[in-house]
Amino acid sequence: MTVATAPVAPPEAARQAGDEILFQPIKLGRYNLRHRIVMAPLTRSRARQPGNVPTALNACYYAQRASAALIISEATQVSMQGQGYAWTPGIHSREQIEGWRLVTQAVHDAGGLIFLQLWHVGRISHPLLQPDNMLPVAPSAIKPSGEAFVTDENGEPAMVPFETPRALQIEEMPYLVRQYTRGARNAMSAGFDGVEVHGANGYLLDQFLESGTNRRSDAYGGTVENRARLLLEVVETVRDVWGSDRVGVRLSPLSTFNEMSDDNPEETFGYVAGRLSEYRLAYLHLVNPAIAAMEKGTAPEPRAIRMIDLIREKYRGVLMLAGGFDHDTAEAWVRQGKADLIAFGRKFLANPDLPERLRRRDPLNADDPSTYYGGGAKGYIDYPTLKGEQPAPCVDERWR
């Protein structure tokens, strides 16, 4: 009789990582993702001036992070009117398409997948950023409090108070939709793998959607069907360009960022989630309504959890959540079925090799908020990988 020997147990961390749902593959539209850790969209305000053109420096930054299951690019304005912050990249000029090609090529060479986030800021802008110094546009003429990030006459960064935006005329709406059509086409020419419609964080599409910023009495205001009209028209035109399996949408229910509010968020976001479900998109992406509690390490607010459950019920497809996650909460939430994918923002910003670090449960670099926006390589491409190594070199004469 032979005595069975016990199999040698793998080290605890490796065994756990092997079992973890975060590291299980998943299908996202037409793509097969290797794991569930996504790089969230992050504005870094480092586009070349003049012209808001992506550069080889930007390509380096994204390529360093190509081990993400999917990279979602920083928010990218679909038109000059859609810009709301200094030095953000666009996707409306030939130079910008060429600049973005450097980025998509570098990410693909590094084995990654990248979607472009299509953006129009609406009222979160300033005449100094608008073509011919015109007023920013919005569903209704309601001024946000706070300040816009602009450049002064010397090209230096400055903060200036927001102004009251101009309410869009109904005749202009088809032209707004076409800004997204062009952006979607340009993103395809630039070599992206798909696009995410930015319907979150108090920008134009969210301003239409939520009742606090939409006082219109025409076909784009009032009922939830009307308030959701622009978002859905944009999703349809973008879907027509890309096919539904390469389009995602980002929403931020219950968020008050950029002074957003809604009289009945459950009705508004429940309706939108149900409508978006019909399009069979690649994914729906939510800014986690429980982010504040998660950051404090306290239990999520019951209303936030109910909102996620409601959207999960109405939206029958891949759901991505971003906001306040660490390794353990990400794993727990995906395991509990609250989400299928987790996007990381600040942790990916500071850790180019984030999936590997999470897999090994290694310590993470801390992010430096002073280098979030503007500047060059510092705080951008110099965050070290595991064991203090500099990330893969991506030196290119063009950005020296």
Please tell me which residue in 203, 220, 373, 380 is annotated as part of the active site: 203
Distance in Å, CB of 34 to ligand FMN, minimum: 20
Question: Strand, coil or helix: what is 215?
Answer: coil
Contact residue for ligand FMN among 136, 253, 323, 355 (CB under 6 A): 323
String marking each residue 70-89 x if it binds ligand FMN according to CB under 6 A: ----xx--------------
Q: Least distance from C-beta 1 to ligand FMN, angstroms?
A: 56
Q: Give the nearest distance from C-beta 119 to ligand FMN in angstroms.
A: 7
User: Is residue 398 classed exposed, middle or buried when 0-12, 13-18 and 19+ CB atoms within 10 A define those classes?
Assistant: exposed
Applying CB under 6 A, which of residues 63, 234, 322, 339 lies at the interface with ligand FMN? 322
**Smallest separation, CB 135 to ligand FMN (Å):** 23
Q: 3-state DSSP call for residue 161?
A: strand
| Structure token pair of residue 5 | 């020997």
Closest to ligand FMN by CB, 300 vs 345, is: 345
Helical axes 94-109 vs 56-64, angle rounded to 10°: 30
**Which of residues 165 and 345 has its CB atom nearest to ligand FMN in the complex?**
345
Question: Among residue numbers 102 through 141, which ones bind ligand FMN (CB under 6 A)?
Answer: 117
Active site residue 203: yes
Residues in the chain: 400
- Cβ at position 335, least distance to ligand FMN in Å: 18
Cα separation, 138 vs 54, whole angstroms: 27
Nearest to 279, CA basis, from 329, 303, 243, 308: 243
Distance of CA 57 to the CA centre of its chain: 20
Rounded to whole angstroms, what are the CA distances from 135 to 49, 70, 121? 22, 36, 12
**Strand partners for 120:** none
Cβ–Cβ under 8 Å, residues 101 and 398: no
Site string for ligand FMN, 16-55 (x = CB under 6 A): ------------------------xxxx------------
Q: Per CB under 6 A, which of residues 191..230 are in contact with ligand FMN?
A: 198, 200-201
Part in contact with ligand FMN (CB under 6 A); list of ranges 16-24, 57-65, 103-111, 321-329: 321-329
Cβ atoms within 10 A of the Cβ of 148, count?
23
Task: Give the x/- contact pattern for ligand FMN in 342-361, rule: CB under 6 A.
Answer: --xxxx--------------
| Segment interacting with ligand FMN, rule: CB under 6 A, options 147-155, 216-224, 317-325, 356-364 | 317-325
Question: Rounded to whole angstroms, how far apart are CA atoms 368 and 253?
Answer: 27
| Cross-strand partners of 320 | 285, 341
What's the CA gap between 232 and 208, in Å, rounded? 11
Near ligand FMN in 261-300, by CB under 6 A = 287
Reported in sequence order, the residue ranges of 162-256 that DSSP labels E, i.e. its strands, are: 166-167, 194-198, 247-251
Residues 357 to 386: which contact ligand FMN by CB under 6 A? 372
For 250, phi then psi, to 5°, come to -110, 135
Contact pattern from residue 154 through residue 193 relative to ligand FMN, giving x for each residue in contact according to CB under 6 A and a dash for the rest: ----------------------------------------
334 lines the binding site for ligand FMN (CB under 6 A)? no
C-beta of residue 87 within 8 angstroms of C-beta of residue 94: no
Q: Minimum Å distance from CB 389 to ligand FMN?
A: 23
CB of 217 to ligand FMN, least distance (A): 30
Residues of this chain that bind ligand FMN (CB under 6 A): 40-43, 74-75, 117, 198, 200-201, 250, 287, 322-325, 344-347, 372
Residues acting as catalytic residues: 203
